[in-house]
Structure 1
Amino acid sequence: MKTLTSITLSGFLLAAGAGAASAQSVVISPEQETVIREYVTTQEIQPIEVPAEVTIEVGTTLPETIELRPLEVPEAEVEYHYIVVDNRTVLVEPQTREIVYIIE
């Protein structure tokens, strides 16, 4: 019985660890946020309307139908693309199309 409990507990801990690893977040400093916000403002990009089934939150993968803009700000030291939704700048990993950070 003790062995079964240990195996069950080990499985639970393994699953919890896998969940934590997949929920990694990107760290953007306040200085980087300022530089990115200024860049996006100068680009005068119109906010987009996302399909109803798409949730704008970190970890969401955006569909191919949403056009991503390259974030061309070398001084920010990040290599993401972005979209603007509801006055928020949404940073996206271009290879996976996953939302990695949202600037309010």
Structure 2
Amino acid sequence: MRMRLSTAAAGLLLLAGIGVAAAQDVIIEPEQETVIREYVKKQPLASVNLPGVELNIGSTLPETVELHEVPDTKYRTVVVDNRTVVVDPGTRKIIKIIE
């Protein structure tokens, strides 16, 4: 009986952890994404090279990287290794990679 309770408790903790991780995901509204894509097309930026930084959603960009404001949104963009990334300016985390 004790083993079943431990297994159940572990399962609940695992599910709670997944819920917390999902709550941290940033979802860009479709209208905002359209604004960002249009801005990126009209305002091309030079690409920067960041050795040792993986371009994944959730990766944090160093403070040395200049982020560019996207008008009418709360997001910033930068082009890294010829890939445009959308960044949360508060955390400097990549929230979207635009191909």
TM-score (normalizing by structure 1):
0.73
* 1:80 corresponds to which of 60, 63, 75: 75
TM-score when normalising by structure 2? 0.76
Letter in 2 for 1:90: V
- Quote the residue 2:54 is aligned against: 55
**Conserved 8 A contact 1:37-1:89:** no
Structure 1 CA distance for aligned equivalents of residues 19 and 97 of structure 2: 19
Off by >6 Å, runs of 4+ in structure 1: none
Q: Percent same amino acid among aligned pairs?
A: 42
Moved more, 55-64 or 80-89: 80-89
2:86 paired residue among 66, 87, 91: 91
Q: What secondary structure is seen at the aligned counterpart in 2 of 1:47?
A: coil
2:50–2:81 CA contact under 8 A, matched in 1: no
* Structure 2: gaps (5+ residues): none
Instruction: Please tell me the root mean square deviation across aligned C-alpha atoms, in Å.
Output: 2.2
* Alpha-carbon displacement from aligned partner over 1:51-80 (angstroms, at most 9, x marks no partner): 2x21111111111121111112x1xxx311
